[in-house]
């Protein structure tokens, strides 16, 4: 019986060895088959593509947002440039007018005579002599405060002096005289 039992254990060990051999052979073949490897590679590639798509979508949204911000900045810059161009044109016009007025600036006596001709329609002989003109034109104060200067301009204007004559007598620009007159009204 010992021999039979030993034979039985030997047969079982042989059967277990064959079963294990075929099981591991099948298992290894299944794990290392090209379909299995290909499916693993496909899964990995799909994960990578999904990750790349997510990053790309995020980057595209960031680019679109920056593009909107850039458009806004460009529009604001265009507005500022147009305002700057208008200011430069206005400044050039003002300089041209100032240059024209400077070239046309007359002495107080000439301006007074011209004013007399225009307002009272008198002949050139009936105008006051130059000495009397000088007596009628007030001398400007050295440092006249703003309110006093405005009052002086208004009083000279009401006395019948022209804007260029007032500017010449107070030694300020014609534009400043006109500006102060508008502010007083």
- Alpha carbon distance 67, 51 (integer Å): 24
Query: Do 120 and 63 sit in the same domain of this protein?
Result: no
pLDDT in tens, 74-117: 999 999 999 999 899 888 888 877 776 666 665 666 666 666 65
CA angle 57, 62, 68 (to 5 degrees): 125
Residue 128 exposed, middle or buried by CB count within 10 Å (0-12, 13-18, 19+): middle
Q: How many structural domains is the chain composed of?
A: 2
Query: Do 116 and 171 sit in the same domain of this protein?
Result: yes
Domain boundary residue, one of 84, 102, 120: 102
Q: For residue 5, is it within any domain?
A: no
Q: Mapped to the 3 state alphabet, what secondary structure does 4-27 carry?
A: HHHHHHHHHHHHHHHHHHHHHHHH
Q: For residue 68, is it within any domain?
A: yes
Position 34 scores a pLDDT of 82
Query: Do 109 and 180 sit in the same domain of this protein?
Result: yes
Q: For residue 13, is it within any domain?
A: no
Residue 157 structural domain? 105-184
Q: For residue 165, is it within any domain?
A: yes
Domain boundary residue, one of 75, 102, 129: 102
Residue 167 exposed, middle or buried by CB count within 10 Å (0-12, 13-18, 19+): buried
pLDDT in tens, 112-162: 666 665 555 444 444 445 555 555 555 554 444 577 888 888 888 888 888
């Amino acid at each position: 019986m010992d021999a039979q039992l030993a034979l039985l254990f030997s047969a079982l060990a042989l059967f277990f060895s064959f079963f294990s051999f075929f099981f591991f052979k099948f298992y290894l073949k299944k794990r290392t088959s090209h379909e299995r490897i290909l499916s693993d590679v496909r899964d990995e590639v799909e994960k990578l593509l999904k990750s790349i798509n997510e990053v790309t979508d995020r980057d595209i949204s960031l680019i679109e947002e920056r593009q909107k911000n850039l458009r806004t900045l460009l529009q604001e810059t265009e507005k500022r440039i147009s305002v700057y161009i208008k200011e430069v044109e206005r400044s050039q016009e003002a300089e041209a007018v100032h240059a024209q007025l400077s070239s046309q600036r007359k002495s107080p006596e000439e301006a007074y005579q011209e004013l007399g001709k225009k307002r009272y329609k008198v002949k050139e002989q009936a105008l006051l002599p130059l000495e009397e003109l000088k007596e009628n034109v007030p001398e400007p104060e050295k440092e006249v405060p703003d309110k006093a200067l405005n009052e002086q301009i208004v009083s000279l204007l009401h006395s019948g002096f022209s804007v260029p004559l007032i500017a010449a007598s107070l030694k300020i620009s014609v534009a400043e005289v006109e500006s102060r007159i508008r502010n007083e009204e």
